[in-house]
A and B are shown apart, each in its own frame.
Chain A
Amino acid sequence: AQSVTQLDSQVPVFEEAPVELRCNYSSSVSVYLFWYVQYPNQGLQLLLKYLSGSTLVKGINGFEAEFNKSQTSFHLRKPSVHISDTAEYFCAVDTGRRALTFGSGTRLQVQP
């Protein structure tokens, strides 16, 4: 069975600073990887996805993530955050055998 670990439950950061949200997964087979964002009182919205090909994927709102197969990681990055990026971020994996398995989420708190 696959699992997803988001190492940080909360990440405080100042506006315009860079940020990295960490995600590690475990799976014995090839995976598809996703990052979703959840704003308060809303559903999840897709930020980006890795299916195959280039290991660096770019998403919406200036976010990007890098797939590292040897480290089984899919960390999310943004070079300069805004107050509006304050939200909860979820990493998810799909091995093709079952629906998405989500991590526990990381709350990004951008401070002025």
Chain B
Amino acid sequence: DAGVIQSPRHEVTEMGQEVTLRCKPISGHDYLFWYRQTMMRGLELLIYFNNNVPIDDSGMPEDRFSAKMPNASFSTLKIQPSEPRDSAVYFCASSLRRDNQPQHFGDGTRLSIL
């Protein structure tokens, strides 16, 4: 079975540019999570969705970040405008339920903002 698929795997862009990260969850999973991983702050939850509806976006750092889930098989995380401090690895994960079911992670997008 296909796991969580993220694209691109790597993104290098200049500050001020718009960045769009993409995620395809595992079919049938109704929860989707976006995380950011940095050396300084570790793994941080940014936002999660249930049945395509954002449930908790309290981890989104600022208004430059936005996430959407237009359907059950696709989600985007957008940064506009990007800044060097946004450089990190961004992970998408999905699960059947939110609490006692494991989250399945994609391989991440390594984002570098110059």
Contact = CB atoms under 8 A, between A and B. Distances in A.
Given A99-B45, A105-B42, A44 B105 contact: yes
Interface residues of A, number: 22
Given A99-B45, A99-B48, A105-B42, A32 B107 contact: no
Nearest to B92: A43
B100 A94 contact: yes
A2 interface: no
A32 B102 CA distance: 10
A43 B106 contact: yes
A90 B43 contact: yes
B25 interface: no
B82 to A, nearest CB: 22
Interface residues of B, number: 19
A32 B91 contact: no
Interface string A84-102: 0000001000101011111
A99 B42 contact: no
A99 B33 contact: yes
Nearest to B47: A99
Contact of A43 (B99, B100, B105): B105
Contacts of A94: 98-100
A46 B105 CA distance: 9
B42 A42 contact: no
Q: Identify which of A42, A98, A103 gathers the most chain B CB atoms within 10 Å of its CB.
A: A98
A25 interface: no
Contacts of A46: 102-104
Given A41-B107, A43-B108, A49-B102, A104 B91 contact: no
A45 B43 contact: no
B56 interface: yes
Q: Identify which of A36, A41, A44, A101 gathers the most chain B CB atoms within 10 Å of its CB.
A: A44
A111 to B, nearest CB: 23
Contacts of B42: 102-105
A67 interface: no
Interface of A: 32, 34, 36, 41-46, 49, 51, 90, 94, 96, 98-105
